[in-house]
Structure 1
């Protein structure tokens, strides 16, 4: 279905259209709401590729090698053995095909094996039902709610805090997914 591999500076082009589509960025990174020009997107992308304590991987369709988004971990703490998961599927034609769940499972595999993390958390907008389903399928559980933590189109909505622990992930048999 999909494979994960490093992103390269010349791969910024798809982000130009993705980040200009209000439907694509509705529940995404708040910074995406401010990026309006190709120069701004170029600057964000270049900074993203060199962020410390972050794993950024491109999401590629296995059969065509087409870039359809990116995912990874940010805020990786070697002291706390924890990080925060993120995913951005920019290619709308690939939504609803189970790719979000597949990518999430792959990132958790990397988090708990290669990066030796014990806990991976995320926040998801309460209206992002597809994301909530994908995260639950990958082993995340709800920890709490950040009330009115996001504002989109002048409307506040809650963010749901979810996490998965390495022991839960192992117990659920998601090892090797």
Structure 2
């Protein structure tokens, strides 16, 4: 597995495996559909934003997902997002998250990284806790999916946490 900068060449794979995939859409809470031009525009914005650190998760050149830090420099904090289209159960998500946390705390000197995860995503919650994230609270009934409301769990990790 490799983490590489997100590139336009990954756009078609992102579109094919992104929110159009039912499981990915549910885990990300995305009700939208996208066109190739939307994905390409997103990649262009990402490449040109100094406060965004985005890495494609790949294996043998195949795009498997992405991990993103959206950085808030004045507050030394960042929001974190990860999505895997493929490669579940191989530890790729954990490796990608460890890399991004190291980048956040060591390279960027951030103090806080936070995320939201839906209450039904037990696999992700397990990984986040294993990495040292702590639950801060819940956004009750934040997602309506197939007629059922779900909480968004807010989690964070600080540079001063013993991880």
What TM-score do you get using the length of structure 2 for normalisation? Answer: 0.90
Distance 1:8 1:29, change over 3 A: farther
Distance 1:72 1:38, change over 3 A: closer
CA contact (8 A) 1:118 1:166 kept: yes
Q: Which runs of 5+ in 2 are unaligned?
A: none
Superposed, 1:42-57 pairs within 5 Å as 42-51=40-49, 53-57=51-55
Alignment of 1:155 onto 2:115 = no
Superposed, 1:110-125 pairs within 5 Å as 110-125=103-118
Q: Partners of 1:157 and 1:140 in 2: how far apart?
A: 20
Q: RMSD over aligned Cα, in angstroms?
A: 1.7
Q: Aligned pair count?
A: 162
CA contact (8 A) 1:18 1:25 kept: no
Shift of 1:29: 5.3
Alignment of 1:17 onto 2:16 = yes
CA contact (8 A) 2:116 2:154 kept: yes
Q: Which contiguous aligned blocks of 4+ residues in structure 1 show a shift greater than 4 angstroms?
A: none
Q: Which runs of 5+ in 1 are unaligned?
A: 173-177
Q: Partners of 1:90 and 1:48 in 2: how far apart?
A: 19
Alignment of 1:67 onto 2:60 = no
What TM-score do you get using the length of structure 1 for normalisation? Answer: 0.83
Residue number among 119, 132, 136 corresponding to 1:139 in the alignment: 132
| Corresponding residue of 2:122 | 129
Name the stretch that deviates more: 159-168 or 20-29: 20-29
